[in-house]
Amino acid sequence: MQIGQKIIRLDTVDSTNNYTANLIKEGKILPGAVIMADEQTAGKGQRGAVWTSNAGENMLLSVFLNSANLSLHQQVALTHFAAVSVMETLRKIGISAQIKWPNDIFVGHRKIAGILIENTILNGRISHSILGIGLNVNQINFKDLSATSVKLETRTFSAVEEILFKLIFEFNKYWEIVKIGNLGLLRSIYLDNLYLLEQEATFEDSDGVFNGTIQGISDEGFLTIRKLVNGENILRNYDLKEVKFISKSTF
């Protein structure tokens, strides 16, 4: 599978992930295809959130992936693959980015990209995946959102297509690592670039707001945080909907 060998360009679509899913159902798309849109009317984010983006200013795309032969407990490797690919693309254009668990990309303390992966399971393995990415490229006004863009960081206009080709290069480089099963390398790169790793920050879980320190991620992809409970430091693993970032404690 060669990612980006086929690129489909759309003016407007509800969601590139939805569009890709429909093409897969109809058998009208091959693995590795990239679906790209200038505008999404119902873009999707994590936790059921809506991804909003100014028309024509940003990168909105989905990739149809298969043939990784990953088991269910290995599906976190797809998160590592996607996040590392986007992060490395930004670094190639001079932007120092980090990965905010599980799959947002930050520059400093502002979000520049989001990733949504939707897997289809068959016989206990991942049959195929749809990888959706929203990357802020030329948008400069985000209202009240704590966000940034390639243009804000580099102070220059960037053609979305040029960044796309750089991203496709990184996709194919890291997909080879997935295919040969060197998932530990991807995990290591992901961990080395984890936002707020070993820095005290403020979080909220079912017990309330607390100060904690990110220690890393578990083998299953859960976020490991050290927190103070009844005067004792404990390590706790959190799934996506079990913990929320409030702020970095010391800006």
Rounded CA separation 170/158 (Å): 18
CA neighbours closer than 13 Å in the CB half-sphere of residue 169: 10
Tell me how many degrees the CA angle 66-67-69 measures, rounded to the nearest 5.
Answer: 110
- Tens of pLDDT along 32-41? 999 999 998 8
Residue 157 has pLDDT above 60, yes or no: yes
Greater confidence (240 vs 26) lies with: 26
Domain 7-192: assigned CATH number: 3.30.930.10
Strands of 67-158, DSSP E: 98-100, 104-107, 110-122, 125-135
What pTM was computed for the model? 0.92
Q: Which residues contact 63 (CB under 8 A, 6 or more apart)?
A: 3, 20, 32, 33, 34, 35, 130, 131, 133, 171
SS3 state of residue 36: strand
Residues 40 and 16: beta-carbon distance below 8 Å: yes
Lowest mean pLDDT of 47-61, 133-147, 160-174, 227-241, name the range: 47-61
**Long-range interactions of 23-27: CB distance < 8 A, separation 24+:** 23/64, 24/64, 24/128, 24/130
Q: Cβ–Cβ contacts within 10 Å for residue 99, how many?
A: 26
* 28 pLDDT tier (thresholds 50, 70, 90): very high
Beta bridge partners of 9: 36
Mean pLDDT of 70-79: 94
Mean pLDDT of 127-146: 94
Position 251 scores a pLDDT of: 35
* 67 pLDDT tier (thresholds 50, 70, 90): confident
Residues 53 and 134: beta-carbon distance below 8 Å: yes
Q: Which of 78, 63, 35, 62 is nearest to 177 (CA)?
A: 78
Position 52 scores a pLDDT of: 59
Q: Which residues contact 96 (CB under 8 A, 6 or more apart)?
A: 90, 107
Position 250 scores a pLDDT of: 45
Task: Give me the chain's average pLDDT, please.
Answer: 92
Q: Which residues contact 93 (CB under 8 A, 6 or more apart)?
A: 150, 154, 158, 163, 166
Q: Which residues contact 71 (CB under 8 A, 6 or more apart)?
A: 124, 125, 126
Residues 117 and 86: beta-carbon distance below 8 Å: no
Backbone angles phi, psi at 230, to 5 degrees: 50, 45
